[in-house]
Amino acid sequence: MTKKLLLKDVARLAGVSEMTASRALRGAPDVSAKTKAKIEEIARTHGYVPNRIAGSLSSQSVNLVAVVVPSLNSFVFPEVLSGISAVLKESPLKPVVGISGYDLEEEESVIREMLSWRPSGLIVAGLEHTEATRRMLQQADCPVVEVMDVDGDPVRHCVGISHLQAGRDMAAQILERGYRRIGFIGTKMPQDFRARKRFDGFTDELAVQGVTLADLEHYSGESAIQTGRLLTAQMLARSPDLDCLYYSSDVMSVGGLMHCLAAGLSVPGDIALAGFNNLQILQGLPQQLATTDACRREIGERAAGIILQSRQTGGAEGLILDQLGPAISLGETL
Amino acid sequence: MTKKLLLKDVARLAGVSEMTASRALRGAPDVSAKTKAKIEEIARTHGYVPNRIAGSLSSQSVNLVAVVVPSLNSFVFPEVLSGISAVLKESPLKPVVGISGYDLEEEESVIREMLSWRPSGLIVAGLEHTEATRRMLQQADCPVVEVMDVDGDPVRHCVGISHLQAGRDMAAQILERGYRRIGFIGTKMPQDFRARKRFDGFTDELAVQGVTLADLEHYSGESAIQTGRLLTAQMLARSPDLDCLYYSSDVMSVGGLMHCLAAGLSVPGDIALAGFNNLQILQGLPQQLATTDACRREIGERAAGIILQSRQTGGAEGLILDQLGPAISLGETL
DNA sequence: ATCGGTACCGCAAACGTTATCGATACCGGA
DNA sequence: TCCGGTATCGATAACGTTTGCGGTACCGAT
C-alpha cells in the first residue's frame, strides 16, 4: 500500500502535463500515439486508478444508472437486472443497484442517496412512492423509468405489465375451465402493490362472473416453497372442496404442487394450481405449472433502452409508456 | 424539471453562508437549532439533493462498500448480500454491487471501476484474480475482503469455507454410508473455481479410500433444475448401476430428485443424491436433500464486520482469515 | 522565406462541496 | 466595566480531475 498515485504523478513520470495524461488515459484525441502508449504503460505498471469522483465532478457526468428494486431474493428482480445489464453493456453506462426492501420510506432514502450521485438515469420498480420521492423523481435531471407495473400514474417513463389485467386474465382462464371453488394464497406484505393488484383484478373478474373467492390466505415475509406448501396444506384442510388455487407467486405454487404430490392429490384433477411470474424454477418440476409470464427480462431491456435513447435525444424524447402483454401459460395444472 | 438547486441556493434562501447550510444539512455541530431547522425546511420544500460527488471529493471519504460477485441469478450471492446489508445498516456505509459474470477479465474491469470511486471497503467473491486485479487489491487504500473461499492465497482479509474440504467431507459421508458407484454432475464453467475445488476434494477423498468416480458429467451455463433433471436422466440411462450422485449445486440436485420422482426411482434406495449450498429451495420438497451449508449469510455478515472494524482501527487490524465450518446435513437422500 | 493549417500539448479556471481557521456576538463572573 | 470563554457563523483554500482556450511546432504550398 504505497503512496496514493495521482494523475499528476503519472504525468510527471511520463514527462508530460496532467492534461496530456488525462487525455491519453481517457482515449481523448489530441495525443500522439507514442505519448499515449508511454502514458498508458506508466499508468499500468504503477497501477494507477483514476479518481472518478474528481473526474465526474469536473466533467459533470456520471456513467452510472441507478436501479432501485425491492429485493434480490425474490428470483424476480435479478432477471430484470440482467436485462438492464445486457443492454447497458453496449454503452459506457453501468447499473448500480439499490434495495428498498418493499418499504416506501426506505425507498425514498435509497433514491435520495442514488440521486445524490447524479446518475445518468434512474430505474425504479413500481409506481407507488412517497410524496417526497415523487418530487425527487420529477426534479431529477436524468431520465427516470418506473418499471414492472403500468397500473397507476407514472412520474415519467414507464415499462411494465398490467397486474390488474394479469389477475383478471387468470381468473377468466380459470372460470372458463369450469373451476368455481377458488382459493387465493398471497403475500400480505402491505407494500407489495403489484401482488395486491393481481389479487384485485382476480377477484374483480370472479365477481363479474358471479363467483366469490371460496378461501383466502395471506402470509408475511418473503415467498418460499415451504410456505406455499404449508399454507396449501392448511387451506385444503379447512376447505376440502376447493377445486382451484391461485397464488401470488410461482414460488408459492411450487410449494402447493409439492403438497399435492405428498398428499396424493391429482393436479388438476383434484385441485388446479396457478401462480405468477413464470420463474425458471418451474422448469423441470413433475408438472408444468400454470402461470403468467411477467416479462421480467424484457422490462429490464426496454427500461435500459429508454435511458440510452434519452441520452441521445437529450431528454426530448417525450413520455414513453410501454405496456407489455404478459402471456398466460396454462401448463398442465389448470 | 427546474434549475439545478445547489447548496449555494439553499444558503441564499436561508440567508446564511454555504458553510452553515452544509453543516446544518449534515448534522454537524456549530449550528443553532433555529438556523438548522430553517435550513432543513428550505432544503426539504425545495427538494434539494446534495451532490455527493462534490462532497466526497472535498471530504475525501465515500460511504460506499463495493461488493463484487459473479452473478445474482444463482441464488447464492443475494444471501451473502443480505448478510452484508444487515451489518452495514448500523453504519453510514452502503453496499454497491458489481457483477463479474464468472469472468476474471470482467472482474478486473468491474473492480477497477469500483475502486475508481474510492469506496470505504471492497468485498469480492473468490481468491482467483488476474495479476492486475491482485495488484489493485494490494494497492487499494481501503480494507479488502475476499469471501466464500479460503483455499488459496488471500490478498488481505478472507472469510469463507474450504470447498476442498467440503468436497472431501461429502465424499467421506457418502462412502461411510456404503455407496461405491458414484457419479458427479457439475458445472464446467471454467472459472467457477469453488465448484472445481469441491470436485477435486471429492475425488481426492474417494481416491484415498480406493474408489474412483463411476461417471461424470459437466454442463455449461447457469445451474437450473431442468438441467439437473435432464443430466441425471442421461447419466442414469448410461450408467444404470450408479448408487449415488453428487452435484455441484443444490439447484441441480433438486432436478435430480425430480427425475427420480418421475422415473419412479426410490431415493436413496435406488439412488442417493447430494448437493451443495443448502439453498432455501430445498425446503418444502418431497424429500429433504442432502447438502452442505455454504454459510452464505454469515460470510456476508463477517465480511461487513471486518470492513467496519477496519474503519475503526484505521487499517491496523492485521490480517484476518476467518474460516467457517460448513455443516453437512444428510437430509433423507443419503 | 512566408503563410495557413493541423497536430499536439499546457495553463488556468472551473465542478460543488467540506476542512480549517478566524471572526463576531453574547454571556457570566470579577 | 472588563475579560475569558463559548456558541455560532463565514471566508478561503483545498479535493483531483476535465473543459476551454490558447500556444508551439511542424508540414506543405506558394
Average pLDDT over residues B141-160: 96
Residues of B in contact with A75 (CB under 8 A): 75
Residues spanned by the domain of B30: 7-48
Q: Residue B1's pLDDT is what?
A: 46
- Half-sphere exposure for A234 (CA within 13 Å, toward CB): 13
How many Å apart are B116 CA and D19 C1'?
A: 21
Statement to judge: residues A265 and A170 lie in one domain: yes
| A333 within domain boundaries | no
Statement to judge: residues B152 and B182 lie in one domain: no
Please tell me the distance in Å from A319's CA to the nearest CA on chain B.
Answer: 14
Which residue in chain B is spatially nearest to A222 when comparing CA positions?
B280
Statement to judge: residues B117 and B227 lie in one domain: no
Q: Does residue B2 surpass a pLDDT of 60? A: no
B243, B181 Cβ separation under 8 angstroms? yes
Statement to judge: residues B135 and B104 lie in one domain: yes
B31, B40 Cβ separation under 8 angstroms? no
- Interface contact B53-A49, CB threshold 8 A: no
B164, B151 Cβ separation under 8 angstroms? yes
Q: Residue A23's pLDDT is what?
A: 95
Statement to judge: residues A197 and A311 lie in one domain: no
Q: What is the pLDDT of residues A158-202, one digit of tens each?
A: 999 999 999 999 999 999 999 999 999 999 878 899 999 999 999
Q: Does residue B316 surpass a pLDDT of 80? A: no
Average pLDDT over residues B55-62: 96
Q: Does residue B51 surpass a pLDDT of 70? A: yes
Q: Does residue B54 surpass a pLDDT of 60? A: yes
Statement to judge: residues B69 and B12 lie in one domain: no
Q: Residue B73's pLDDT is what?
A: 87
| B100 within domain boundaries | yes
CATH number at residue B74: 3.40.50.2300
Q: Residue B317's pLDDT is what?
A: 79
- Interface contact A56-B53, CB threshold 8 A: yes
CATH number at residue A17: 1.10.260.40
Q: Does residue B239 surpass a pLDDT of 80? A: yes
Q: Residue A191's pLDDT is what?
A: 82
Average pLDDT over residues B277-285: 96
Statement to judge: residues A267 and A287 lie in one domain: yes
Q: Residue A17's pLDDT is what?
A: 92
Please tell me the distance in Å from B225's CA to the nearest CA on chain A.
Answer: 6
A8 CB neighbours strand D below 7 A: yes
| B58 within domain boundaries | no
Q: Residue A329's pLDDT is what?
A: 92
Average pLDDT over chain B reads 94
Region of residue B27 (left: phi > 0; alpha: psi -120 to 50; beta: else): left
Please tell me the distance in Å from B50's CA to the nearest CA on chain A.
Answer: 6
- Residue found by looking up cell 454497491 in the block: B96
Q: What is the distance, to the nearest Å, from the Cα of residue A299 to the centroid of all Cα atoms in its chain?
A: 8
For helices A250-263 and A225-238, the axis angle rounded to 10 degrees is: 60
- Interface contact B280-A224, CB threshold 8 A: yes
Domain count, chain A: 3
Q: Residue B224's pLDDT is what?
A: 95
Residues of B in contact with A135 (CB under 8 A): 47
Q: Which of A53, A100, A227 to mutate to test the interface with B (most CBs of B within 10 A)?
A: A53
**Which of A223-232, B182-191, B235-244 shows the lowest per-residue confidence on average (mean pLDDT)?**
B182-191
- Interface contact A96-B94, CB threshold 8 A: no
Statement to judge: residues A255 and A169 lie in one domain: yes
Q: Residue A98's pLDDT is what?
A: 95
- Which residues does A184 contact at the CB level (< 8 Å), separation at least 6? A199, A202, A203, A213, A215, A216, A217, A245, A246, A247, A248
Q: Residue A143's pLDDT is what?
A: 96
What's the rounded Cα separation, in Å, for the pair B257 and B226?
11
Average pLDDT over chain A reads 94
For helices A131-139 and A104-115, the axis angle rounded to 10 degrees is: 20
Q: Does residue A1 surpass a pLDDT of 50? A: no
For helices B250-263 and B225-238, the axis angle rounded to 10 degrees is: 60
Q: Residue B130's pLDDT is what?
A: 95
Statement to judge: residues B228 and B276 lie in one domain: yes
Q: Does residue B3 surpass a pLDDT of 80? A: no
Residues of A in contact with B285 (CB under 8 A): 225, 258
Statement to judge: residues A93 and A114 lie in one domain: yes
What's the rounded Cα separation, in Å, for the pair B205 and B182?
12
Statement to judge: residues A303 and A244 lie in one domain: no
**Which of A73-77, A103-107, A281-285, B117-121 shows the lowest per-residue confidence on average (mean pLDDT)?**
A73-77
**Which of A243-252, B244-253, B299-308, B320-329 shows the lowest per-residue confidence on average (mean pLDDT)?**
B320-329
Q: Does residue A315 surpass a pLDDT of 80? A: no
Statement to judge: residues B101 and B23 lie in one domain: no
- Interface contact B49-A2, CB threshold 8 A: no
How many other C-beta atoms are found inside a 10 Å radius of the C-beta of residue A115?
A: 23
A17 CB neighbours strand D below 7 A: no
Sign of CA dihedral A184, A190, A192, A197: positive
Q: Does residue A2 surpass a pLDDT of 70? A: no
Identify which of A52, A115, A262 has the shortest CB distance to residue B286.
A262
